[in-house]
Structure formats: structure tokens, C-alpha cells
Amino acid sequence: MTTDTQAADAGTGRAPSGERRVRVELGSRAYDIVIGSGLLARAGELIRTLTHRKRVFVVADRTVAGLHLATLEAGLAAGGFGATVSLVDPGEGTKRLEVLERVLDEFIEAGAERDDVLVAFGGGVVGDLTGLAAGLLKRGARFVQIPTTLLAQVDSSVGGKTAVNSRAGKNLIGLFHQPALVISDLDVLSTLPARERSAGLAEVAKYALIGDTDFLAWLEANAEALRAGEPQATGEAVRISCEAKARVVAADETEKGQRALLNLGHTFGHALERANGFGPALLHGEAVGAGMAMAMRFSVRLGLCPEADAARAGALLNALGLVTRIPDLSGGPYVAEELLAHMGHDKKNRDGRMTLILARGAGEAFVQPDADEAEVLAFLRQTCAA
């Protein structure tokens, strides 16, 4: 559910700031996603609704801290908060147990208590790490997500999946731990590199490809503006994406059923990421973009999906700045047999059988619990070569 907060308060139509709130309806763990401009400056006021403590515990990656931490700290101070800040290196390599332990030790030594609030200030890497740290700190503290990448604003900051990676694969050590609040300041996206923007747009396209053909058409019409980072189109994409994610999470918080659809493209995508050792050669969103194109083409191969729908999905992803042909994808090399082995570690797999998210069309994804591995391998051989 979305509300225009200030308008709702004043009863006077649209709020001047255009701030929107999307509610994630999870009973006693329900929370708001606040989306708008100038929100870092209001972070203290927003977080003040959660706690009377005088200090928050912020995890930030060094790049984000260099660009935006001073603004956040001023916003926190305006709400009466000091900040203990733990800086981590940017990149997927930060999602590991050693970094988690260091962050927890720093916060505990600085006096963090269970009633304190942690703040994740960065992209999905910082959000996933901080959420897990909060879930573990003194058996569970609350945390606020302040996502600074498009990907984190449309996906990873919402829904309470927290994790670090293990040697065997991605996100294998984690908890479901919902944030108490998500503050998505659209202004911070102005410093995001174009490549990261396109990576975020992959997760935006995902909501359309899963089950929203109106949004699909809107994305096709606005692809150029989104790729350029045009603020109005971007804000709309963040809102629609958060509404879609909030609906799915409210219906299936711990992924017993339909939440698995949010992993469209992720089983192929995680294998592509793992082929790069989760290194910077291939971004998570780039892997998801290529993975969604693969899921659509594999669905065509199985006779489940019209070829025109896979082509439509591919064209949209390309228009959003994403590569969909595996031989053209950055990083690699991508070897079919290795990708299949990586796919075997996916969390959706049950009793050694591979679960895939496939599609009956663009906007019609479904869960395929028992994928035929020989078919997958044949497809991967064809896809990696062509």
C-alpha cells in the first residue's frame, strides 16, 4: 500500500516533496519504506520514531561514506543522534564472516545494546551484512536500511533477507531479519555510476517479467529515461518495485512459496557470479539480467514460452543497458559444466533436485521444482557457445 505521507497528514493532495511511503504489511514486524528527495537530511527525524537512544550504529562502505556520510551524520544530528560508524570495503568480498565479526566487535566495544538501532548505509552488500549483524547482535537488534544503490532501493533493502557468502556459494549464511524502516533517498542515486544503475534496472525489470505486463510496457516506454537516471522516472520505478516486493514479502515472508518468483534469473545469475569468484568483473544485477534472459530462453527451449516473449524480455534488458548474450558478458570464461555445478548449490534446490524459476511468457513466471539437469546442461552448452 502506498501513501503520500504529508498529503495524507494535511489532506491537501500531493506533498511538495513528493515523498511516498510503501507499507510492508507483516503484522508486528510491519514497516514503512519512505521514498523521496532530501531524506538523508531527515534521517534523524525518521529514525527518532523508533528509539529514544542517543546514538545509532552505522555500517557504511568507504565509497558511500566519502560521498554521503557527512550529509547523513548531519541529518542524524538534527534528530538528536550521534553515530558510531564502522567502515567496510566496497564490493561483494565484504559479505564474509570475518567482516561481520569485526563490525559486531566494533559495535559491542562501543557499547551497543539490544535496544540500539543499526543503520545500513550503502548498497546491497552493506544492507545484507548489516541486517545479519543486527539479527545476531545480543540475540537481535533492530536496523534501518538506507539504501544508496538503485538495486538496493528496489530490492535488497526490502524483505529481510540478510546474509554473507560462504566458500560454497552466495548468501549461504544468513537470517530472515526485517528492517524496522527503509529510507530511500533518491538524491543519493545521482552519484551512482551508469553501470551500477543498469545493474539495478535488472531487478526493476524482474518485477515486470515475473507478473506485471502494465509495468513491462511502462518500462519499455521509459527505458531511455531510466538508463539515463532521470529522477522522476527513477522515483516511479522505485515506488512500483517496492510495492511489488512488499506484496510478495507480506504474502510469503520466508519463501515457502511465491517469494521464490523473486529469484527469476538468479539461479543462472548466481552461477555466472560464482564463475567470477563474486568479483567485480560481473555485478550482481548484470548477472541477474543475463540470468533472466537465460531463464526466458530456457523456457522457450522447453516449449513453455513463446519465442517472441523471450525476445521482448531480451530487448527490454538491452534497452536498460544490460548484456544478455553470454559470450558478450563481462568476466568469465563461462563454461557450461562449471555453471551447472554452481547451480547445484542454489538454496532453492531440494533433495538434490534443481528448482528453477521459468516463464510461460513475459510477465508470467512460475516455479519449476524439478528441472531436468541434462536439459539444463544442453542449454548451457548452446548458450555459452552462441
Of 117 and 202, nearer to ligand GLY (C-beta) is 202
Q: Which residue, judged by CB position, is nearest to ligand GLY in the bound state?
A: 262
Q: Which of 191, 213, 232, 254 binds ligand NAD (CB under 6 A)?
A: 191
DSSP annotation of 152: I
The grid coordinates of residue 330 equal 563481462
78 three-class SS: helix
Q: What are the distances in angstroms from CA 84 to CA 58, 119, 125, 234?
A: 6, 10, 19, 31
Does position 148 bind ligand NAD by CB under 6 A? yes
353 is catalytic: no
* Least distance from ligand NAD to the Cβ atom of residue 372, Å: 27
- Which among ligand NAD, ligand GLY, none contacts residue 356 (Cβ within 5 to 8 A by kind)? none
Specify whether the CB–CB gap between 35 and 239 falls below 8 A.
yes
Amino acid at 266: H
Q: Which residue, judged by CB position, is nearest to ligand NAD in the bound state?
A: 124
**Site for ligand NAD, residues 51 to 70, rule: CB under 6 A:** 61, 63-64, 67
139 is catalytic: yes
CB atoms within 10 A of CB 166: 15
Gap between the Cα atoms of 54 and 145, Å rounded:
18
263 is catalytic: yes
138 is catalytic: no
The grid coordinates of residue 178 equal 526485517
Which among 42, 266, 297, 347 is annotated as catalytic?
266
The grid coordinates of residue 179 equal 528492517
- Which among ligand GLY, ligand NAD, none contacts residue 152 (Cβ within 5 to 8 A by kind)? ligand NAD
Gap between the Cα atoms of 110 and 274, Å rounded:
36
Q: Which of 274, 284, 297, 312 binds ligand NAD (CB under 6 A)?
A: 284
Does position 91 bind ligand NAD by CB under 6 A? yes
Gap between the Cα atoms of 185 and 125, Å rounded:
18
Q: Which stretch binds ligand NAD (CB under 6 A): 105-113, 119-127, 292-300, 354-362?
A: 119-127
Does position 95 bind ligand NAD by CB under 6 A? yes
Gap between the Cα atoms of 276 and 333, Å rounded:
8
3-state secondary structure 300-350: HHCCCCCHHHHHHHHHHHHHCCCCCCHHHCCCCCCCHHHHHHHHCCCCCCE
The residue ranges that bind ligand GLY (CB under 6 A) are 155, 159, 161, 259, 262-263
- Which among ligand NAD, ligand GLY, none contacts residue 259 (Cβ within 5 to 8 A by kind)? ligand GLY
Catalytic residues: 139, 161, 203, 245, 255, 259, 263, 266, 270, 284
Residues that bind ligand NAD in the complex, under the rule CB under 6 A:
61, 63-64, 67, 90-92, 95, 122-126, 128, 148-149, 151-152, 155-156, 159, 161, 171, 188, 191-192, 196, 199, 284-285
